[in-house]
Structure 1
């Protein structure tokens, strides 16, 4: 049985990924500052309280795992609009260093549609409010993607569209060609389904950065 570390596991996509990975028969190590409050009980679930910006916490969590799924998120706040953030890039640097030291190769990381070269595929109507509300966050996500690309890991970068709380449908679209990239909505549960599939699937390793929409 493979052991999967999920970073940012206490809510959102991370929590849905914990559920899906357990359903698919993986042993899950759920890492978050409030991991002890995760509302799931399972014999193959270990809850690890830790800070993604503390190298010692991450290094301890990474030891002995077979793959890492990074699902960091930021709560909506005024600071997201007015201040620069380095949460995603700094946490990813720490994670990659820890993985390389521990010999863990596979990293599946969620950024979002609008990060990196996907931003130019947004319509003008979408881009204006996006830049105002999320521009600083996604600028750091773009740095995060660059750090991952430059690493020696076997990586998958996943860019979901606008997230909803809907159920898992399995009928989402995987847009892996830049000419097809577009924004749309997708449930967190469907994103989690795709993330867990990447533990075994090599189709998107190291080059494609698929966008996901429902």
Structure 2
């Protein structure tokens, strides 16, 4: 079992990942700016750390005695109306901190449409995608470039359209560019994939798209 730091652990994919990692038997350090509230989970192996992913001292402290980092930061729709820099700035803090602490395994969440998966967006989806998510995904592009340029053992997960559905375990992991396409997937199933990557190294230095 691993000691896992989950960044952005208070809601969404991050909160689902905390619960899934605990269920899988790992020891979890949940890092967030707001309290982490779990329902029905065994918290005996959970440490909640309040911190800012943009502050080097907070991130370095959270990395102490950690084996794996799962980066699950997200923003609300309202935050997409202005400039978005959270993903790139937090990654610029995280990568050198991981190097300094000699933590090699990084599992990060971006999304379908980030990096080279952008060319797989259909013509009909591209304009609304850019109008709503353009600023965020421009920053996710930078985030992915930073991660790929690092020497870490990284995996970048690119989920499709997120839902609040249950974990089904029937999602597809699309690793080849010719197979990439958009679709839906629950946050719980994204968390399932992320937790599997703690011990599964078959997707190291890969950027799989996750959809049903």
Give the TM bin, normalised by the shorter chain: over 0.9
Report the TM-score, using the length of structure 1 for normalisation: 0.96
Which residue does 2:61 correspond to in 1?
60
Question: Where does structure 2 lack aligned partners over 5 or more consecutive residues?
Answer: none
Which residue does 2:45 correspond to in 1?
44
Deviation track 1:55-77 (CA, whole Å, cap 9, x = no partner) reads: 11000001110000000000110
Which residue does 1:84 correspond to in 2?
83
Q: How many angstroms apart in 2 are the aligned matches of 1:128 and 1:84?
A: 19
Deviation track 1:85-117 (CA, whole Å, cap 9, x = no partner) reads: 111001011011111000000000000001011
Contact 2:8 2:73 in 1 (8 A): yes
Contact 2:80 2:132 in 1 (8 A): yes
Q: How many angstroms apart in 1 are the aligned matches of 2:159 and 2:19?
A: 18
Report the TM-score, using the length of structure 2 for normalisation: 0.97
Secondary structure of 1:159's counterpart equals strand
Secondary structure of 2:106's counterpart equals strand
Q: State the 1:124 CA deviation.
A: 1.3
Q: How many angstroms apart in 2 are the aligned matches of 1:93 and 1:62?
A: 15
Deviation track 1:98-143 (CA, whole Å, cap 9, x = no partner) reads: 1100000000000000101111101111111110011010000000
**Structure 1 segments of 4+ aligned residues over 6 angstroms from their partners:** none
Q: How many angstroms apart in 2 are the aligned matches of 1:19 and 1:85?
A: 28
